[in-house]
Amino acid sequence: MKRVLLCVALIASLTGIWETGPVKAAGKGGQQGSAAQSTATPGGSASEYVGSDTCMTCHADVAKSFASNPHSRLALMHDGKGATCESCHGPGKAHVDGGGDVTKIFRFSKASPKQIDATCLGCHAGAHPDFERSPHGEAGLSCTSCHSIHSFKAEVSLLKVSQPTLCYSCHTDVKPAFAQPFHHKVDEGLMTCSDCHDPHGTFQDKQLKSTADQNAVCTKCHTETAGPFVYEHPVIKTDGCTSCHSPHGSPNARLLNVSNINTLCLQCHSETNMGSFPHAVSPTGPVHNQAAQYVACTNCHTQIHGSNASPQFFK
């Protein structure tokens, strides 16, 4: 008898959970919906949406150009439904009923960076999961600092201005490097800043694109240095390519950090620097004089990035 009563009580308890659970959830959702409406942020019930045709009656110039916008065109290619005005600006019924009251619609020009980012990342979070903790995000930049949905100058990524001009507008310290005699062809348009850097954030320094091999950003183009090699140059694995090269530009050939190759090598391969550079390996310096006939270490140590034949990186 006790078992029967226990089963009845358990069934009653479960029934109560199933009956009250959705009601509580709906009540919570209703509170969130009213809060979203009062602050004019994207969201709301279906009855609060008026459709892009209604928006077009006042914003005809914007609506006309949006048909060719990647936001609309890409979605149309897949399931016949593109992004509309209210996908980003929120439901427009209150805005329309108020005779175009601008306080009743989400305006990116008046929103905070966090509100803007939350709206954009509602769709793009999967592609840019690290933006909020990136240097750009922490500096208070928003998506619209670099991107423009309606008046973009570069269709790729909807940038306000094409690279590298857009990047130079903030990173003025980097621009002169590309005017050096030897530089990566960024100003010439053969490369872009985003070929090496991810402006939305990575787990690498300088927002370098994350790869399993820290040097893969370089070796994807400089394939002859990629390896793997039987005899590897330790500095490449420990400090990376930038221990010897200046990636943006340099007055020295091959973008070297210093003009004299021997000086560059002896920064590691000298007795005095063994304490500072524990990865330095034998020989710790030249075993012969470095007169004119021995102009550069790489005259003999030609395979300096790595060799499959010699631990001294001879050819």
Q: What is the pLDDT of residue 9?
A: 46
- Domain contains 79: yes
- Mean pLDDT, the chain, as a whole number? 79
Dump pLDDT digits (tens) for 10-53: 444 433 333 333 333 333 333 333 333 334 556 667 788 998 88
User: Looking at the structure, do residues 136 and 198 belong to the same domain, yes or no?
Assistant: yes
Q: The tokens of 150 are what?
A: 């309606």
State yes or no: pLDDT of 285 exceeds 60.
no
- Domain contains 185: yes
- Percent of the chain scored above 90 by pLDDT? 41
Domain enclosing residue 293, as ranges? 224-307
- Domain contains 187: yes
120-139 mean pLDDT: 91
User: Looking at the structure, do residues 233 and 284 belong to the same domain, yes or no?
Assistant: yes
136-145 mean pLDDT: 94
Tally of domains in the chain: 3
Dump pLDDT digits (tens) for 150-162: 988 887 889 999 9
State yes or no: pLDDT of 114 exceeds 80.
yes
User: Looking at the structure, do residues 71 and 145 belong to the same domain, yes or no?
Assistant: no
Tell me how far apart the alpha carbons of residues 292 and 305 are, in angstroms, rounded to a whole number.
Answer: 24
Nearest CA among 198, 313, 297 for reference residue 256:
297
Nearest CA among 250, 270, 266, 274 for reference residue 298:
266
Q: What is the pLDDT of residue 83?
A: 76
User: Looking at the structure, do residues 243 and 288 belong to the same domain, yes or no?
Assistant: yes
Dump pLDDT digits (tens) for 155-196: 788 999 999 999 999 999 999 999 999 999 999 999 999 999
- pLDDT category at 271 given cuts 50, 70, 90 is low
- Domain contains 283: yes
State yes or no: pLDDT of 66 exceeds 50.
yes
